[in-house]
Amino acid sequence: MIHIDIAQRLGDFELDVAFKADAPIVGLFGRSGSGKTSLVNALAGVARPRRGLIVVNGETLFDSDRGIDVLPERRRLGYVFQDDLLFPHLNVAANLLYGYHRAPASARVIDPEHIIELLGLRSLLHRLPDALSGGEKQRIAIGRALLAQPRLLLMDEPLASLDVARRDEVLRYIELLRDDLAIPIVYVSHSVAEITRLADTVVILSDGKAIAVGDVDEVMGRLDLRPQTGRYEAGAVIDTVVAAHDTEYGLTTLRFDGGELIVPNVEALVGERVRVRIRARDVALALTRPEGLSVVNILRGTLVAIADPGGPIVEAQLRVGAASLVARITKRSRVDLRLAEGQQLYALVKAVSFDRRSVGYA
Amino acid sequence: MDLSADELGIILLSLKVALVSVAFSLPVAIGVAYLLARFEFPGKTLLDAVVHLPLVLPPVVVGFALLVLFGRHGPIGAWLESWFGIVFAFRWTGAALAAAIMGFPLMVRAIRLSFSAIDRRLETVARTLGGSRSWVFVSVTLPLALPGLVTGIVLSFARSLGEFGATITFVANIPGETQTLPLAIYTYTQSPSGDLQALRLSVIAVILSLVALVAAERITRRKTALARAPRT
């Protein structure tokens, strides 16, 4: 549980953020310059707000009224930066154990051996950071933060300085440790894909203010937040469970309460939770259930809203069971189909539109 | 080249003076360099200027100032003698003090540069990992400033070995007590038959300086090699 209500002046920029969030992974989303990093710095105690209150898991870390300002080394919040920031003069093992040795013995519940195994660092222990790849370094930085036995992990754009292939690798490890260690994470990013794949609750920052807080699929699906979440990336997130694998054709069936989705093979066991992201431009709409079509995913839903930002394209938001889906269609189609709110529709999603980056392990 | 007892004595005295001056000025230089590299405070420009003064003043002026302040009747010298029994005037300790002050700006500059070059976020990470301010200084800041520390030590050591003007003004030229290598060479050049002796001592001075430079080079190179090669 994180409760933040702070104000801080940084040059011309005024950070004035208030929100409460309680989730395994809280996503902090916003464009660059929206105040994400300032907020995380205030949380970590490396920058001091002008006034306000910061409470994490019931412990007050900062309270300007009562004169409380816990030193960063006493806050026990793991901080993973955009750059790995490994200590260049220490080898991997010494980097990993830097915080472990400083944590009180009674708080040492995360075991170094376990982290080394989990993050696949065994063969790197005696190397110096200079000799490692970006992905390896970021994994070590994450391990180092975890071994300091934090009560909360702060990750500020941890994938931003990695190439695409490395991002996927590190993302997979973050999912692994979320499931394995049950440490709450505050995940900062300007990438819709990362936030929707990882976060449960999302806080949207804009111009130093929290303009929306809520479930990731609800907030990211909101059409009025498009200026922040971005039109191109528009899409929806659905939490599903693996229902079956089709080994003959290499397909996986995912079930959620609005129906089933068939996607290219997902490496997960039947019964595991998987989160998928469906981009608005991959969704087509039909008034009746179409026949003789190659599209395998046909979902029945209700039209809730249509956003018309001007121009030839509109976005239609559908409710499918408890999930929501966004479709980008032309304004002409909207008129031709006479779409109206409350109408029953069929949403069509091609199985091939799901790729590695849109399917995650929830 | 066999060394005479006199020559050996001069070399050992010079080394003693240089080593003691470096050993005592190093902690102060680290403190001042850290202050100048990391903090903004009133009087910072003045402190910076005072630190650099020995670099721009004629050494004789520095020696004279030391004589006035640290002489047996000087305000600081008299106080030190009556309270701690420490005497600088006309002693080898005075030569070390003069050498320390002359080498101080070189040392501070080198160390300050390497403090400034450190990515301060490394210190921030160390704090969030549970390191107190002082532990972070010892375990992160100092090791990362090592190249600057080595450079500063070597420069001020070499400066100490070569110190002449401030030393001869402050503690005079007393054989066996304050007569370091440069002073001895100067003495021989003043006597009609001393050319050979002056030459011998000059060669020794060259050798000593080269050894110090090569040693420093090797220390820094080993450190960087260590940082590059994967240790398996």
The number of angstroms, rounded, from the C-alpha of A242 to the middle of its chain's C-alpha atoms is 20
Given a contact cutoff of 8 angstroms between Cβ atoms, the answer to whether A155 and A80 are in contact is yes
- pLDDT > 90 fraction of chain B, expressed in percent and rounded: 67
The whole-number pLDDT of residue B45 equals 93
The whole-number pLDDT of residue B223 equals 64
> B90-103 pLDDT, tens per residue?
899 999 999 999 99
The number of angstroms, rounded, from the C-alpha of A135 to the middle of its chain's C-alpha atoms is 18
Residue B196 in tokens = 């050979």
Query: Is the pLDDT reported for residue B114 higher than 90?
Result: yes
Q: CA nearest B226: which of B147, B120, B157?
A: B147
Q: What is the mean pLDDT of residues A238-246?
A: 87
Given a contact cutoff of 8 angstroms between Cβ atoms, the answer to whether A328 and A231 are in contact is no
Closest CB to B231: pick one of A78, A88, A126.
A126
Maximum C-alpha span of chain B = 69
> A43-57 pLDDT, tens per residue?
998 888 889 999 988
Confidence of residue B9 (pLDDT cuts 50, 70, 90): very high
Mutating which of B125, B150, B222 best tests the A interface, going by the most A Cβ atoms within 10 A? B125
The whole-number pLDDT of residue A223 equals 65
How far does the CA of residue A165 sit from the closest CA of chain B (Å)?
24
The whole-number pLDDT of residue A9 equals 84
Query: Is the pLDDT reported for residue A361 higher than 60?
Result: no
Q: CA nearest A320: which of A245, A237, A241, A243?
A: A237
The whole-number pLDDT of residue A232 equals 46
**Amino acid in the structure at residue B105:** P
Q: Report how far residue A73's alpha carbon sits from residue A45's, in angstroms, rounded to the nearest whole number.
A: 9
- HSE (CB half, 13 Å, CA atoms) of A342? 0
Query: Is the pLDDT reported for residue A227 higher than 90?
Result: no
How far does the CA of residue B132 sit from the closest CA of chain A (Å)?
6
The whole-number pLDDT of residue A233 equals 59
Q: Which domains does chain A have, with CATH numbers?
A: 2-228 (3.40.50.300), 235-361 (2.40.50.100)
Q: Report how far residue B116's alpha carbon sits from residue B36's, in angstroms, rounded to the nearest whole number.
A: 9
Given a contact cutoff of 8 angstroms between Cβ atoms, the answer to whether A144 and A96 are in contact is yes
Given a contact cutoff of 8 angstroms between Cβ atoms, the answer to whether A118 and A72 are in contact is no
Q: Report how far residue A48's alpha carbon sits from residue A6's, in angstroms, rounded to the nearest whole number.
A: 10
How far does the CA of residue A47 sit from the closest CA of chain B (Å)?
10
Using a CB–CB cut-off of 8 Å, the residues of A that contact B are 44-46, 71-73, 75-79, 81, 83, 85, 87-89, 91, 98-99, 102-103, 126-128, 130-131, 144-145, 148
Q: Report how far residue A116's alpha carbon sits from residue A167's, in angstroms, rounded to the nearest whole number.
A: 19
Q: What is the mean pLDDT of residues B37-64?
A: 93
The number of angstroms, rounded, from the C-alpha of A169 to the middle of its chain's C-alpha atoms is 15
> A76-115 pLDDT, tens per residue?
899 999 888 999 999 999 999 999 999 888 888 888 998 8
Coil, helix or strand at residue B196: helix
Given a contact cutoff of 8 angstroms between Cβ atoms, the answer to whether A48 and A42 are in contact is yes
Q: Report how far residue A39's alpha carbon sits from residue A62's, in angstroms, rounded to the nearest whole number.
A: 13
Q: CA nearest A176: which of A215, A139, A216?
A: A139
Least confident range of A165-174, B63-72, B176-185: A165-174
* Sign of the CA dihedral with A230 first, then A233, A236, and A242 last: negative
The whole-number pLDDT of residue A273 equals 80
Query: Is A73 in contact with B132 (Cβ distance < 8 A)?
Result: yes
Residue B219 in tokens = 């220390």
The whole-number pLDDT of residue A183 equals 85
Task: Give the range with max mean pLDDT: A112-121, A188-197, B117-126.
Answer: B117-126
User: How far is the CA of A158 from the CAs of A23, A218, B184, B210, in angstroms?
Assistant: 19, 24, 63, 48
**Position with higher pLDDT, A31 vs A123:** A123
The whole-number pLDDT of residue B1 equals 65
Q: Give residue A164's region: left, alpha or beta (phi > 0; psi -120 to 50).
A: alpha
pTM of the model: 0.76
Query: Is A126 in contact with B232 (Cβ distance < 8 A)?
Result: yes
**Amino acid in the structure at residue A23:** A
Strand partners, A204: A29, A212
Confidence of residue B11 (pLDDT cuts 50, 70, 90): very high
Query: Is B129 in contact with A127 (Cβ distance < 8 A)?
Result: no
The whole-number pLDDT of residue A360 equals 63
Confidence of residue A258 (pLDDT cuts 50, 70, 90): confident
Q: Report how far residue A54's alpha carbon sits from residue A175's, in angstroms, rounded to the nearest whole number.
A: 26
Query: Is the pLDDT reported for residue A155 higher than 90?
Result: yes
The whole-number pLDDT of residue B122 equals 94
Q: Report how far residue A200's alpha carbon sits from residue A360's, in angstroms, rounded to the nearest whole number.
A: 13
Closest CB to B131: pick one of A88, A102, A131.
A102
Mutating which of A74, A87, A123 best tests the B interface, going by the most B Cβ atoms within 10 A? A87
Residue A358 in tokens = 């849109």
Phi/psi at B67 (nearest 5 deg)? Answer: -60, -45
Q: What is the mean pLDDT of residues A277-299?
A: 88
Closest CB to B143: pick one of A72, A89, A131.
A89
Measured between its terminal Cα atoms, the distance across chain B in Å is 46
Nearest residue in chain B measured CA to CA from A40: B128
User: How far is the CA of A91 from the CAs of A129, A143, B140, in angstroms?
Assistant: 7, 14, 13
CA angle A49, A54, A59 (to 5 degrees): 140
Residue B91 in tokens = 């002693």
Element (H, E) at A61: strand A59-63
Query: Is the pLDDT reported for residue B48 higher than 90?
Result: yes
The whole-number pLDDT of residue A362 equals 43
How far does the CA of residue B117 sit from the closest CA of chain A (Å)?
13
**Amino acid in the structure at residue A70:** V
The whole-number pLDDT of residue A168 equals 78
The whole-number pLDDT of residue A218 equals 75
- pLDDT > 70 fraction of chain A, expressed in percent and rounded: 96
How far does the CA of residue B174 sit from the closest CA of chain A (Å)?
47
Q: Report how far residue A260's alpha carbon sits from residue B191's, in angstroms, rounded to the nearest whole number.
A: 105
Per DSSP, helices labelled H in chain A are 36-44, 72-75, 92-102, 112-118, 134-147, 164-181, 192-198, 216-221, 226-229, 331-337
Q: Report how far residue A104's alpha carbon sits from residue B66's, in angstroms, rounded to the nearest whole number.
A: 51
Cβ neighbours around A246 below 10 Å, total? 11
Q: Report how far residue A170's alpha carbon sits from residue B109's, in angstroms, rounded to the nearest whole number.
A: 42
Least confident range of A18-22, A322-326, B217-221: B217-221
Confidence of residue A322 (pLDDT cuts 50, 70, 90): confident
Q: Which domains does chain B have, with CATH numbers?
A: 5-39+53-228 (1.10.3720.10)
Closest CB to A91: pick one of B122, B129, B231.
B231
Query: Is A73 in contact with B129 (Cβ distance < 8 A)?
Result: yes
Confidence of residue B77 (pLDDT cuts 50, 70, 90): confident
Q: What is the mean pLDDT of residues B2-10?
A: 86
> B149-161 pLDDT, tens per residue?
998 999 899 899 9
Query: Is the pLDDT reported for residue B229 higher than 50?
Result: no
Strand partners, A153: A78, A185
Query: DSSP string spanning A269-281?
Result: -TT-EEEEEEEGG
* Sign of the CA dihedral with A117 first, then A118, A122, and A126 last: negative
The whole-number pLDDT of residue A266 equals 82
> B164-191 pLDDT, tens per residue?
999 999 999 988 899 999 999 999 999 8
Query: Chain B residues with CB inside 8 Å of A140's CB?
Result: none
Query: Is A87 in contact with B140 (Cβ distance < 8 A)?
Result: yes
Q: CA nearest A221: which of A188, A260, A190, A195?
A: A195
Given a contact cutoff of 8 angstroms between Cβ atoms, the answer to whether B219 and B146 are in contact is no
> A333-356 pLDDT, tens per residue?
988 988 888 889 999 998 888 876
How far does the CA of residue B221 sit from the closest CA of chain A (Å)?
14
Mean pLDDT of chain A: 86
Counted residue by residue, chain B has a size of: 232
User: Cα dihedral angle (A95, A101, A104, A106), rounded to 10 degrees?
Assistant: 100
Query: Is the pLDDT reported for residue B27 higher than 80?
Result: yes
Query: Is the pLDDT reported for residue A146 higher than 50?
Result: yes
Closest CB to A79: pick one of B125, B139, B230.
B125
Residue B47 in tokens = 């402190």
Given a contact cutoff of 8 angstroms between Cβ atoms, the answer to whether A298 and A346 are in contact is yes
Q: Report how far residue A88's alpha carbon sits from residue A160's, in angstroms, rounded to the nearest whole number.
A: 20
Closest CB to B122: pick one of A85, A99, A102.
A85
The whole-number pLDDT of residue A112 equals 92
Query: Is the pLDDT reported for residue A1 higher than 90?
Result: no
